[in-house]
């Protein structure tokens, strides 16, 4: 076993057996268990730049990037240094710290509508709080969400959710009461007529529409041009709020997140935004942000309660701030270039192997949709994502893994490059594609 692996349980197989004896399913987050691709999950013991190393001592080019946070690559020296310095000053105080204000100011510098920021620890907390805030502000109870969008494991947002809920092919989750489920109206993504119909029917009871700024949890399904702007207009016309979930896209697809690529150019902004992942640089930080008059409804300035023992944790905020400070124009240019180069090579390899597919993009996020329908028309909603030839992904995934490339272990997830994915790392991925695309073709 590699250094760092507990000596008495050995490599990946032994670790997974031990983990299954103490953790439900052997993991602490479902998709990690390789359920839809099969096989033993790789237990990672270290990571640097674009590479991760497992407990058997094998190195992989990583296209998971911790599901988004690692935009600079793993263990970036400036981030590790900031964390070590912060840790040396103390791990958690439960009192205001200078770093929280600095991080919030950096968020506001990048996203105009983020006039006020509340820091929390996970994306789930951010969306949960945004929904509570919208209800508290409007005095209404209903929420509109889109099928295939994932907003964390908030009770009211698990209906027809993407990510692991999609991977496990679940309609929602056990344990969510019928009363809570009834407060969520689920509509097809990219379908403005369905949104209009929901508002026509119950508009005076809808507190908010929540949407992924650009969905990447049913595979990547970009918004049609004007879709987000129309959501903003429809919500406003009915006195409801638009919550744009940028947990995944925020500070990844560009310096101002998806809003910076779209709303900023079109001249509109969501009412509330949520951030996570990149904003913590690999440690637990997430945020709710929005106009001051809305955000000031949060306690202690307003009546909507929200709190957290570890909120704004000094070590975590140091990691987030160091990451955002390092994420300059050059980093975003590199992310975009790596995503463009890699995705076109992936598509060419599938074409060469005779696999009908389409690579879908949202900025530097992308994923592959399999099948004739996807190839011909693209996928614009969850029904389309579910209808693809999902069986082609597992053999492709394992052929890539065998050749030292770690992809997300589900067809319903985006591929994440980092600014550390240099030509050497990309060449290793590209070299693995012919055999892996042939394995997909043979499925």
The residues binding ligand PMP (CB under 6 A) are 67, 122-124, 127, 150-152, 163, 212, 217, 245, 247-248, 276, 286
Distance in Å, CB of 266 to ligand PMP, minimum: 21
Give whichever of 67 and 396 is closer to ligand PMP, judged by the CB atom: 67
Reply yes or no on whether 145 is catalytic. no
Specify the residue, 270 or 395, whose C-beta has the smaller distance to ligand PMP: 270
Smaller CB distance to ligand PMP: residue 286 or 374?
286
| Residue 277 annotated to the active site | yes
- Tell the smallest beta-carbon distance from residue 13 to ligand PMP (Å): 27
Identify the residue whose tokens are 């994306």.
123
C-alpha 211/C-alpha 243 separation (Å) is 6
Q: In the bound complex, what is the minimum distance in angstroms from residue 180's beta carbon to ligand PMP?
A: 18
DSSP 61: E
Token pair of 274 as six digits: 């949520």
What's CA 144's distance to the chain center, in Å? Answer: 20
Convert 150-190 into a string of H (helix), E (strand) and C (coil). CCCCCHHHCCCCCCHHHHCCCCCCCCCCHHHHCCEEEECCC
Q: How far is the CB of 231 from ligand PMP (least distance, A)?
A: 15
21, two tokens: 């004896």
Q: Which is nearer to ligand PMP, 285 or 342 (CB)?
A: 285
DSSP character at residue 49:
B
Catalytic residue, candidates 51, 271, 277, 389:
277
Q: Tokens standing for 277? A: 């992942």
Rounded to the nearest 10°, the torsion over CA 415, 421, 424, 425 is -30
How is residue 365 written in tokens? 């996020």
Catalytic residue among 245, 271, 381, 389: 245
**Backbone phi and psi for residue 97, each to the nearest 5 degrees, phi listed first:** -130, 155
Residue 405 has φ and ψ, to the nearest 5°, of -125, 125
| 3 state SS of 262 | coil
CB of 277 to ligand PMP, least distance (A): 7
Please confirm, yes or no, whether 150 is among the known catalytic residues.
yes
| Nearest distance from C-beta of residue 227 to ligand PMP, angstroms | 16
Cβ–Cβ < 8 Å for 419, 73 = yes
Between 50 and 408, name the residue whose CB sits nearer to ligand PMP: 408
Hey, what's the torsion of the CAs at 316, 319, 325, 328, to 10 degrees?
-120
Residue 273 or 399 having the CB closest to ligand PMP: 273
Neighbours of 104 (CB within 10 A): 20
Please list the active-site residues: 150, 245, 277
């Amino acid at each position: 076993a590699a250094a760092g692996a507990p000596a008495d349980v050995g490599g990946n197989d032994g670790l997974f057996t031990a983990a299954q004896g103490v953790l439900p399913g052997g993991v602490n987050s479902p998709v990690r268990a390789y359920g839809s691709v099969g096989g033993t999950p790789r237990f990672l013991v270290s990571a640097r730049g674009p590479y991760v190393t497992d407990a058997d001592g094998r190195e992989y080019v990583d296209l998971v990037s911790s599901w988004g946070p690692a935009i600079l690559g793993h263990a970036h020296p400036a981030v590790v240094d900031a964390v070590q310095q912060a840790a040396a000053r103390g791990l958690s105080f439960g009192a205001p710290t200078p770093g929280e204000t600095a991080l919030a100011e950096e968020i506001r510098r990048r996203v105009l509508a983020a006039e006020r920021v509340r820091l929390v620890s996970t994306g789930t907390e951010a969306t949960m709080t945004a929904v509570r805030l919208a209800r508290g502000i409007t005095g209404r109870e209903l929420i509109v969400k889109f099928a295939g969008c994932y907003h964390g494991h908030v009770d009211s947002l698990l209906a027809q959710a993407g990510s692991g809920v999609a991977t496990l092919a679940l309609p929602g989750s056990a344990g969510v009461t019928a009363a809570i489920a009834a407060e969520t109206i689920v509509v097809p993504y990219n379908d403005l007529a369905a949104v209009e119909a929901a508002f026509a029917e119950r508009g005076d009871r809808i507190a908010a529409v929540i949407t992924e700024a650009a969905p990447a949890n049913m595979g990547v399904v970009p918004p049609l041009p004007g879709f987000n702007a129309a959501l903003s207009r429809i919500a406003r016309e009915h006195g409801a709020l638009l919550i744009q979930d940028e947990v995944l896209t925020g500070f990844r697809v560009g310096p101002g997140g998806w809003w910076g690529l779209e709303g900023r150019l079109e001249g509109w902004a969501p009412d509330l935004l949520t951030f996570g992942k990149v904003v913590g640089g690999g440690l637990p930080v997430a945020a709710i942000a929005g106009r001051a008059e809305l955000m000031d409804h949060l306690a202690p300035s307003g009546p909507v309660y929200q709190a957290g023992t570890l909120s704004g944790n000094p070590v975590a905020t140091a990691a987030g701030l160091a990451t955002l400070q390092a994420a300059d124009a050059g980093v975003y240019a590199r992310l975009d270039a790596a995503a463009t180069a890699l995705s076109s090579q992936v598509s060419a390899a599938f074409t060469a192997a005779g696999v009908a597919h389409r690579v879908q993009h949202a900025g530097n996020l992308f994923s592959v949709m399999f099948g004739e329908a996807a190839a011909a028309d693209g996928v614009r909603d969850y029904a389309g994502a579910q209808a693809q030839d999902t069986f082609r992904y597992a053999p492709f995934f394992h052929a890539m893994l065998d050749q030292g490339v770690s992809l997300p272990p589900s067809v319903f997830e985006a591929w994440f490059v980092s600014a550390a994915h240099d030509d050497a790392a990309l060449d290793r991925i590209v070299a693995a594609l012919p055999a892996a695309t042939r394995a997909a073709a043979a499925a």
